[in-house]
Structure 1
Amino acid sequence: MRRLVVVLALIAGFLVTPATAEAATGQLLRDDTGLYPRVIQLANGRILASVVTFVGNADGIGAIYESTNSGKSFTQVGTVEDPEAADGQGLCCATLFELPKPVGAMPAGTLLWAASVGASDRPMSLRIWKSNDVGRTWSYLSNCATASNTSGLWEPEFSIAKDGQLVCHYADETDPAHSQKLMQVWSSDGVTWTDPTPTVASTTVGHRPGMPVVRKLPTGTYLMSYEICGVGGQYDCAAYTRQSADGWNWGSPSAPGVLTRTADGKYFTHAPTLAVAPNGNLLVVGQILQNPDGSVAAGNGRTLFVKSGNGTWRTIPAPVAVTNPYNNYCPNYSSPLLVSPDSKRVLELASDYDAGVCKTYYATGRAG
């Protein structure tokens, strides 16, 4: 299980990378371990970013950063210290979200942070923390999922459905009938979570859909990006999307979705993320860029996909250039994108190795 290996490797204190690797371009977010970056723009115009890092006795923490100059620079403003992630219990795959409307007793503007906790001290859970002071301090809120056995729960992601319910999406390894599937649960208050429902669940036991990212389009339609691993061949871990009119019903879970590829057949594999520009344009990035024949493409680690409306995906340069990313939890792994309010620029955060340490870099480039 790739993610479990990640957590255990970090706890053991070794990060292995080829000695010839060159660190990514862009500015360092922090000059030590920074994994699984996330970035959002708040209603007040500030930009918040987060990474997972480790301190002390392998305590996993969420480091929260703020930019007040459109992503030109970041300053750490907060830390999420979950006691359930202390002493090497494991922390992975954190997410950030700002409530656009009240949910229960939480007003609009409340920040949510959630992560997979307990990979080395099962059972795992997806634990949610909230902040009412723009990320400075955090308090525990709830679990949106807790494993019923010793298998994994990974990669939480939030959205607000059309009916106003808060939705938590995640990857679930706990069902013996599926090596992994994508699930969702909903809550009217952020405390009590109900109705666990599959969104992507192949009829082939060994398939592993994972890493959901959900965005609401200006039209009101919802779009989800994800990978499907375990299929073998050149499209193993390829990036897909699917749509929902209401943010809850995503069509048949057994359908793979729409493969994300350009008109000339290039596609991404592993750890895709999705961004929506205010003008409706879509941007996607994945860890590895591949040619139609499955070979690694020349622009690997330096390319985004963008499309307008019902057009086709086309390539543009990535703001952060990662040299030859490969199937590994660090280089260009789940790199988040954030488009500027005028839809002209895109901020990217991407991780890469520097002297054996996985660090996060950021930079801004053209969005189209």
Structure 2
Amino acid sequence: MKFLHLSILAIACVSYTVASILKRDFSTTIFTPPSSYQVPRTLYARSLMLTVNDASGTLLSTWENYSGGVTWFPIYRSSNHGQTWSPLSKVTDQVNGWGLRYQPILYELKQDLGGYKAGSILLAGNSIPADLSATKIDLYISTDKGLTWKFLSHIAEGGEADPVNGKTPVWEPFLMVYNNQLHCYYSDQRDPKHGQKLVHQSTSDLKAWSSVVDDVTDSDYTARPGMPTIAQMGNGKYIMTFEYCGTRNCDVYYKITTDPTSWDNVAPTQLIARDGTAPYSSPFITWTPIGAQSGSSGAKTANGTVVANAYSDGSLYVNKQNGDPNAWTRISTSSPGQYSRSLAVGFNPKDIVIVGGGALNGNNNVVSLYARDVNGCSYCT
């Protein structure tokens, strides 16, 4: 039998003969750092598919870049659905003189906001000096599809970049627009009642930010909920995943709410797959409207599929029942477990794009892209 090997992000074939079966798995290296880079070289990679005034599925990627000195966030672009990548720009620290060091996140505005047009790209990340003595989550914007960048605002400021209870850094931003406001969710160690908690702040003009709102707190001071990511599900509700460190082994937990500005009164649920696997550390979550296997594009369903992952293994954890705790199943991927791998929906919405920067203390980290059919199909129409 002869299989036609195409990128899993390519447009699906229209004939369903044996000869047109597609191999869905696909992987590539986005960036290999030079030997001069410091360990871990790269980490915490993120991707973004452009959708506003771009029908071709252009992809951008960024990551923590351990180049030494005053650091920055690279922006790489792919115009062929992730098969090849090239450098596009650098997001540099324009205001602090410290560098942009940790935890970047990319977000495309789907609507006009704060005087900027839909299609503008936001980047939030942690500006930190070389001695790690302070943390600032800063917001930048590009109005030309990632080619140039401008500082917009300081979102939050904290102390030394050290994940130890009693220190006061701010960490791990995640961006989302809801109700005509941009919301930035992040991990916060500044509250003396909590070793760490999850919070958010909001803005309507991308410059002035609201006061802090608690999202995940714990009466146990040593508990450390962290790394929030959010997706809207098929039923309209929102799901937030996070790691629960401290006494809970950094296990993956989640909350579900109808209002993504109000989480703190929602009880958390641990993510445990039907086979008993309990993933842990640095989760990420996304959602695709594809729920069933039907032809090369899959079939959209009312629920679609919630997709999560974690550092503990290379699997995807999928849920076709809007986060029902008894409906998580595990799908293998060709990706290794990587620290804070990001997930996104590909140009074909049945394809889940996995972008990672390597292991937490890896000596040979590179930035890589893997993708997997959301229904677990390796060869399929």
Normalized against structure 2, the TM-score is what? 0.77
Q: Does the 8 Å CA contact 1:319/1:348 hold for their aligned counterparts? A: no
- Structure 2 residue 216 is the aligned partner of structure 1 residue 200: yes
- Structure 2 residue 132 is the aligned partner of structure 1 residue 131: no
State the partner residue of 1:286: 310
Number of residue equivalences = 315
Distance 1:236 1:27 in 2: 32
Distance 1:237 1:266 in 2: 14
Distance 1:227 1:139 in 2: 32
Report the CA distance between 1:248 and its aligned residue: 0.6
Q: Does the 8 Å CA contact 1:84/1:117 hold for their aligned counterparts? A: no
Q: How does 1:268-347 map to 2 (within 5 A)?
A: 268-279=279-290, 280-288=304-312, 301-310=313-322, 312-320=327-335, 322=336, 332-347=338-353
Q: Deviations over 1:166-222 (max 9, x none)?
A: 101000011111100001001011100013101001111111000000122243322
State the partner residue of 1:174: 190
Q: Does the 8 Å CA contact 2:81/2:347 hold for their aligned counterparts? A: no
Instruction: Look up the SS of the partner of 2:116 in the other structure.
Output: coil
Report the CA distance between 1:73 and its aligned residue: 2.0
State the partner residue of 2:367: 360
State the partner residue of 2:10: none
Match of 1:160 among 156, 159, 177: 177
Instruction: Look up the SS of the partner of 1:240 in the other structure.
Output: strand
Match of 2:76 among 62, 65, 71: 65
Q: Which has the larger radius of gyration?
A: 2
Report the CA distance between 1:148 and its aligned residue: 7.2
Amino acid at match of 1:46: T
Q: Deviations over 1:276-313 (max 9, x none)?
A: 1133211111011xxxxxxxxxxxx3311112124611
State the partner residue of 1:30: 31
User: For the structure 1 residues 85 and 218, does the alpha-carbon distance in structure 2 shift closer, same or farther, using more than 3 Å as the test?
Assistant: farther
Report the CA distance between 1:58 and its aligned residue: 1.8
Amino acid at match of 1:334: S
Distance 2:363 2:148 in 1: 31
Q: Does the 8 Å CA contact 1:228/1:240 hold for their aligned counterparts? A: yes
Q: Which segments of 5 or more consecutive residues in structure 2 lack a partner in the other structure?
A: 1-25, 34-40, 161-166, 291-303, 376-381
Report the CA distance between 1:26 and its aligned residue: 3.8
State the partner residue of 1:248: 261
Q: 4+ runs of 1 displaced by more than 3 Å?
A: 83-87, 119-123
Report the CA distance between 1:27 and its aligned residue: 2.3
State the partner residue of 2:301: none
Amino acid at match of 1:133: D
Q: Deviations over 1:239-289 (max 9, x none)?
A: 111122122112416x4x11111123211110000111133211111011x
Q: How does 1:70-149 map to 2 (within 5 A)?
A: 70-83=81-94, 91-118=101-128, 120-147=131-158
Q: Which segments of 5 or more consecutive residues in structure 1 lack a partner in the other structure?
A: 1-24, 289-300, 326-331
Distance 1:109 1:90 in 2: 23
Report the CA distance between 1:341 and its aligned residue: 4.5
Report the CA distance between 1:151 and its aligned residue: 1.6
Amino acid at match of 2:307: L
Q: Does the 8 Å CA contact 2:72/2:100 hold for their aligned counterparts? A: no
Q: Does the 8 Å CA contact 1:38/1:50 hold for their aligned counterparts? A: yes
Amino acid at match of 1:252: N
Distance 2:362 2:187 in 1: 31
State the partner residue of 2:38: none
Instruction: Look up the SS of the partner of 2:66 in the other structure.
Output: strand
Match of 2:49 among 38, 41, 45: 41
Cα RMSD after superposing both structures = 2.2
- Tell me the percent identity: 25
Q: Does the 8 Å CA contact 1:50/1:64 hold for their aligned counterparts? A: yes
Normalized against structure 1, the TM-score is what? 0.80
Instruction: Look up the SS of the partner of 1:59 in the other structure.
Output: coil
Report the CA distance between 1:365 and its aligned residue: 2.1
